[in-house]
Every structure is written in structure tokens, then in C-alpha cells.
Amino acid sequence: MPLRRRPMIIKSLLAACLLAQGLPAALAHGAGPTSEADAAPAAAAPAAKLSGVLFENVRIFDGKADKLSAPSNVLIVGNQIKAISSAPIAAPADVALTRVAGAGRTLMPGLIDAHTHIMFSSLSKLAILTSDVGFVNVAATKEAQDTLMRGFTSIRDLGGPSLGLKKGIDLGLASGPRIWSSGAFISQSGGHGDFRLPVDLPARPGDFSHSERVGAAAIADNPDVVRLRAREQLALGASQIKMMAGGGVSSDYDPLDVTQYTTAELRAGVEAAENWGTYVAVHAYTPRAVRQAIEAGVKCIDHGQMLDEATAKLMAEKGVWWSLQPFVDDGKSAFAEGSPNRIKQKQMMAGTDTAFALAKKFKIKTAWGTDTLFDAKVAAQQGQKLAQMVRWYSPVEVLKMATSGNAELLALSGPRSPYPGKLGVVQEGALADLILVDGDPIANIDLVADAAKNFLVIMKDGKVYKNTVR
């Protein structure tokens, strides 16, 4: 190749590279300005304005106080609450502002459900066990959007293949709540998380069931395998680990009184979680199952409807969280009347009133959740299940539990929390997950039962997903 052609070829290659990066080809060829206009520096493009929302003339339930604030104004910039004032708030010059006329309505934190299974809540058990996982994901994506539209801006998902859904929501590919996902729940063979068919047992070594292959469950039968499965979920992005420590209603092999796992097996999961800066929550109903879990270092007991006074006192002494659900027998069930699952369900529900009484008596840190499974109609009653809590608590206690209280439980995930920032409160500097309620939910808790009618604005992370204010 003649030497005189090499500089031209090099310049052409450089131009092609720079064009691929969006730079002018003239710069690649070393061409100088062709005019004074070309020589002058380009005018700086105007800086893009931040987005903001100003709620004017609202009364605030801040997630902690016993009553609403005086009329106030609340400024949201980006995804944070920037200012709260009883005086008018001037619009910052660098913020593209949307104003919402509160007209004395109530601004409160987004609601938090501390016990969900978003992948399993709206389809029947048979559909989940036999359908393609793609269909299950489609149904769960719709349920996530519906959950957000009911005002639930955060959920703790305690078992199921929800990590992909969470990622899609976080990337803006779908609408839904923030998700603290446990990934696959960890169960012993024949335990509450074992949904294999009887014909699949005994299982061949290394043979994973459908629910294991799709990330819904993980069967582990000794400390080493428990440790392995917990580490796998943490590697995939789990915020906390969920283990099955006792019998359950929806599973087919185990009576409610069965204690599952040994202390050593539970401790293996706890150690794996603690090494990642997070914790283990367990499914358990009975005193023996709960005591064994506490001995292993478990930080949260979910359910516990069959506990006795001594075990509840132990939970209080150890500072263990009690995540309770308002399970009462109103005659509506996803299980056929007279079936083994329905019989177990009634047995469990018979202890709900006692459980809440014990939680209150010993001042145990108590969270609220729905734990809806296999029934779209029941899933749609999420707000009604919250309002139902006035059977045991005052309206303001209920609202605190579903906002700042549940947010405190979410914070147990520590560095594994996927959403840094303060939630469950209306405070300057907190994340902007907010609801504008048409009325006073402290005076009328039933407002939360009908989000379609009474939640005029629903905001998550500073983005408005619903606004019907006129």
C-alpha cells in the first residue's frame, strides 16, 4: 500500500468509529471550522428541569401521629419529599411542577403489605401447578398493577418466583409496587413448600420438580443443602430468606401441628442470611415450631395463630417480629368445604383472635399482611382486609401498622433492601410513596377498602400512577 494513502485510510477508520459514537465526522478528518459560526462555541442546551408535584391544602397522616396535621403543602421533587409547610411553597425555578389541589383531603404514606405471594395470589392452585410459567408471569404482572392501584406501594413477597417481576417493575417495564422478594421459599421434603405430586416421591437424587425449576420452591433436607439453597436465593437478589418451619393450610402432606426442620437446619439458613446482612422469616403456627425458630435466630414469625402465652412472651423478650394476618372464617374460601385443606384452614382461623390478643398483651412488634393465595376475588379485597383490622385495633393503629410499622419490618433487610430511603412516613427527605384520600381514614377506616373510589392520587417513587383530582 503506498505510504501516502495510509493517513487517509486511518482518518476514514477514525471517522467511522467517531460516527458510531455520535461525533461529527468532520472532527475525525481533522477538518477545521468552515466559518466564524462554526468556530464559535455551540450554545449550551437548556438544562432539563426536574419533575415535581406540589400537593396544596392537604391534611397529613404522617404514618406515626395519632391525628391529622393542620392544612399543609407538600412539595415532591424527583422521588423525594422536599418540603412540608403550612405556608405556601414557592415553585423552584428548576422544577417542572404539577399542582394538585388537595382541598383539605388527607395525604398519607403508601400502604405496605408485609406478607404476599404476588405470583400465586390470583390464579387457582391447579393453574399454578400445571400452567406454563409464562402465563403465571402474565397473571402476576396484572396483579402487581392492581395491587398498586389499590394503594399498596410496597410488598414483602414471602415465596415464589417474583424476582423477575420485581426487576421488570423496577426498570419501568410494568407497573407495580416495590417488592422485597424472598425468591423461592425453602422447605423440607413433605413440608409446607413441597408441592410435588405423590407420584414424584420418592424423588430421584438431583431431580428437581417443576416448582423448583421455575424458582417457586427449594427443597432442602439437611443443613448443608439449606445453606446452599439460601445462598442461591441471596445470589439471585432475595431481600430476605423464607423458610417453612411448620405445617400449613395450602400444602397437602403436612398437618398444622407438624414441626418442620431441626434447629441446626434453621440455623444454617439464618447464618447464610446474616452473612449477607439480612434475616430469615418462617412460616409457623405452633409453639414448638416457633420456639425452635427463635432458638435458631429467626427474626420474624409469620402466622402463629396457634401460639400460647408463654411463647408469645418469649417473642417479646427476644424482640422477634410477629407478622399476623386477619384470618377469620367468613365462609369464603379457595378450598372446597369439607376438604382437608379447608379443615386445616378452619383450625388455624380459630386461633386468630387469641393471637392478636397475645400480640397486644405483650407489646410484640406486629406487622400486618394478607397472605392471599389462589383466589383473584380475595386478592382484590386487599384494602378490605386492612380495614378489617379494626376488629383488634383502633383505626389509627391499623394505619400506622400498614405504613411506618411495616416499613420498620422491611428495614430488617438492611443492606439487602433494594430501595434505599425512608418509607412509610410523610416526612421531608422520605421517599415519595403517597396516597391522596378523599376523606379522613382515621375517622373512617373503610375509605381504604375502596381505593377505586376514595384514593384520588396514587404516587410511587415520585411518579403519579393515578390522579382523578378535578
CB 437 within 8 A of CB 108: yes
Which amino acid belongs to residue 288?
A: R
Pairing of strands 50-60, 95-101: parallel
Query: For residue 74, what is the enclosing H or E element?
Result: strand 72-77
Q: State how far the Cα of 63 lies from the Cα of 108, in Å rounded to an integer.
A: 7
pLDDT at 143 over 60: yes
The pLDDT score that the predictor gives to residue 242 is 98
Mean pLDDT value of segment 104-112: 98
Backbone angles phi, psi at 92, to 5 degrees: -60, 145
Tens of pLDDT, residue by residue over 271-322, are 999 999 999 999 999 999 999 999 999 999 999 999 999 999 999 999 999 9
pLDDT at 9 over 80: no
- Helix and strand numbers (H, E) in the chain are 18, 18
Q: State how far the Cα of 140 lies from the Cα of 151, in Å rounded to an integer.
A: 17
pLDDT at 359 over 60: yes
Grid cell at residue 18: 467517531
> What is the DSSP track for 379-430?
HTTHHHHHHGGGGTS-HHHHHHIIIIIHHHHHGGGGGG-SS-S--SS--TTS
Global pTM exceeds 0.85: yes
Which segments of the chain belong to CATH 2.30.40.10?
A: 50-109+426-467
pLDDT at 265 over 90: yes
Mean pLDDT value of segment 208-227: 89
Mean pLDDT value of segment 369-377: 90
The pLDDT score that the predictor gives to residue 38 is 47
Q: State how far the Cα of 305 lies from the Cα of 115, in Å rounded to an integer.
A: 15
Which amino acid belongs to residue 367?
A: A
C-alpha torsion sign, points 250, 255, 257, 262: negative
Fold of 111-392: TIM Barrel (3.20.20)
Q: State how far the Cα of 22 lies from the Cα of 301, in Å rounded to an integer.
A: 56
The pLDDT score that the predictor gives to residue 30 is 40
pLDDT at 193 over 90: no
Fold of 50-109+426-467: Urease, subunit C; domain 1 (2.30.40)
Q: State how far the Cα of 372 lies from the Cα of 121, in Å rounded to an integer.
A: 5
The pLDDT score that the predictor gives to residue 340 is 86
Confidence of residue 236 (pLDDT cuts 50, 70, 90): very high
Tens of pLDDT, residue by residue over 118-142, are 999 888 878 888 888 889 999 999 9
pLDDT at 180 over 60: yes
Which segments of the chain belong to CATH 3.20.20.140?
A: 111-392
Q: How many other C-beta atoms are found inside a 10 Å radius of the C-beta of residue 232?
A: 16
The pLDDT score that the predictor gives to residue 3 is 45
Those residues with Cβ within 8 angstroms of residue 171's Cβ, 6 or more apart along the chain or in another chain: none
- Most confident listed range (43-57, 218-232, 334-348): 218-232
Instruction: Please tell me the least confidently modeled range out of 27-31, 164-168, 367-371.
Output: 27-31
**Per DSSP, what are the bridge partners of residue 53?**
76, 98
The pLDDT score that the predictor gives to residue 35 is 43
CB 259 within 8 A of CB 292: yes
Tens of pLDDT, residue by residue over 14-63, are 444 444 444 443 333 344 444 444 445 555 556 667 889 999 999 999 99
Grid cell at residue 12: 476514514
pLDDT at 245 over 90: yes
